[in-house]
């Protein structure tokens, strides 16, 4: 029982931190703990192509690109070298596309740009999303709690 309460307090605290960051209005900073999955969203209304870029240490890297198929209701992936941990998904009418990165690491931190394109050659960019990875502090706290609970418990 002790264990359950402890972990609820812990995860509620994390959830509070996360949601207050996301609802901070206008801010597009996203924080995630190391090892978790993150989904970044982008609007693709009336556009045919989408590409996600990652800017880190002054290097801009194309992560993934996709385009709508003829029906306009399905995304075809053109480029995804990290397909083992990155995927792009869309809603039924492909108005919203989401990039999901699973098992984030420190090297996933940085700015994410979603570019969308129609027939015109130029690409339009949404406001970038800053991804911050919360690693050691939380891992430390989590393992500290584990120890605390295990010492106090029966095991
Ligand atoms: C993207 O949308 C999904 C589904 O609505 C949501 O769970 C997720 O938190 C959103 N991502 C961000 C970074 O806001
Ligand atoms: C993260 O994504 C991986 C691969 O898509 C999945 O197997 C795993 O269940 C996800 N983890 C969480 C916490 O959603």
Tell me which of 56 and 152 has the higher pLDDT.
56
Residue 41 in contact with ligand 1 by CB distance below 6 A: yes
Q: Name the CATH superfamily for 2-152.
A: Immunoglobulins (2.60.40.10)
Whether the per-residue pLDDT at 64 is higher than 80: the answer is yes
| Pocket lining: 18 vs ligand 1, CB cutoff 6 Å | no
Find the angle CA(137)-CA(88)-CA(126) to the nearest 5 degrees. Answer: 80
19 lines ligand 2 (CB under 6 A): no
Confidence (pTM): 0.73
Residue ranges per structural domain of the chain: 2-152
Predicted pLDDT of residue 130: 96
pLDDT at 126: 83
CB 89 within 8 A of CB 80: no
Query: Residue 88 in contact with residue 81, Cβ under 8 Å?
Result: no
């Amino acid at each position: 029982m002790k264990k359950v309460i402890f972990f609820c307090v812990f995860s509620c605290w994390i959830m509070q931190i996360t949601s207050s960051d996301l609802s901070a209005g206008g801010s597009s900073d996203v924080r995630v703990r190391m090892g978790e999955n993150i989904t970044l969203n982008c609007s693709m209304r009336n556009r045919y192509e989408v590409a996600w870029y990652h800017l880190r240490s002054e290097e801009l890297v194309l992560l993934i690109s996709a385009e709508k198929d003829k029906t306009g209701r399905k995304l075809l992936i053109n480029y995804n070298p990290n397909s083992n941990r990155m995927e792009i998904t869309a809603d039924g009418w492909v108005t919203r596309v989401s990039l999901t990165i699973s098992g984030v690491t420190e090297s996933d931190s940085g700015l994410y740009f979603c570019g969308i394109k129609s027939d015109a050659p130029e690409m339009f960019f949404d406001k970038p999303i800053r991804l911050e990875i919360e690693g050691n502090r939380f891992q430390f706290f989590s393992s500290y709690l584990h120890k605390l609970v295990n010492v106090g418990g029966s095991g």
